[in-house]
Structures are given as C-alpha cells and as structure tokens.
Amino acid sequence: MSPQSKALLVLALSLVSACGTINTVFRPDAVASQGLKDSRSHCDNVPRIYSGVMYGFCYLNSEPKPAKSPEDQDFADRGANIFPIIAIEALASGVADTLVLPYTIYRQGKDGSIEIYQ
C-alpha cells in the first residue's frame, strides 16, 4: 500500500470516526442533547471533558429501538459484528478528545456539562 493510500485511508477513517467528539465539541449543545434524547439514553448529562467518549457510552446505554428487539435474530447477528466499529469509534473519540482537551477543560469550567433533557 502506497503512502498516499495510507494517508487517504487515515483521513477517511478520521472523518467517519469520532462522531461523538464532533457532536459534543464542534456542534451546539442541543445537537448532542437531542441525539441522546432520541436514542432514549439513560444519561442525564455529558461532561465536556472527554465528551466524545462519554457520548458513545451514553449512546450504548440507551434503550433498544422498538422495531429492533433483542429477540430479533437479524438484530442479534448485527450486534455481534458491531464490536470492532464501537472499538474504533471509542479509540478515535479518545484521540480526538485528547487533542481538544484544553478547550473542553475551559468550556467545562465556563458552561458546565451538556444537559440531556428527557
């Protein structure tokens, strides 16, 4: 694989990964709040420091969608294969959150946590 192909692959993965960080740091608080509210997450708030990782955990801690119950075989099959995607997302969010850590520390002190209104 050529260096240009590797760079393009890394760029593509970084664009599709770390969506939790993008939703919590670079978009308005209402976007993150509405996203977790729509997923029926059990989180009440998301701290701004490492917010992308926490957003992912809160999203994982949400109720299953009514149309996709755990008894649905198709859902169970996809659930077993999604672990690598979740691991890549958590890793990418962790790296992105570390890069914006000074800014998120400032915002945590200034604005507090992102509230999720149920």
- Give the separation between CA 45 and CA 32, rounded to whole angstroms: 10
- Give the separation between CA 39 and CA 20, rounded to whole angstroms: 14
What's the pLDDT score for residue 77? 47
Cα atoms in the 13 Å half-sphere on the side-chain side of 17: 21
Quote the number of domains for the chain.
Answer: 1
Domain that holds residue 9: 3-115
As a whole number, the mean pLDDT across the chain is 80
Residue in the block written with tokens 């990964």: 17
Residue in the block written with tokens 């393009």: 8
Backbone φ and ψ of 46, nearest 5°:
-125, 120
Tell me how crowded residue 113 is: count the other CB atoms within 10 A of its CB.
17
pLDDT tens figures, 28-53 = 999 889 988 888 888 899 999 999 99
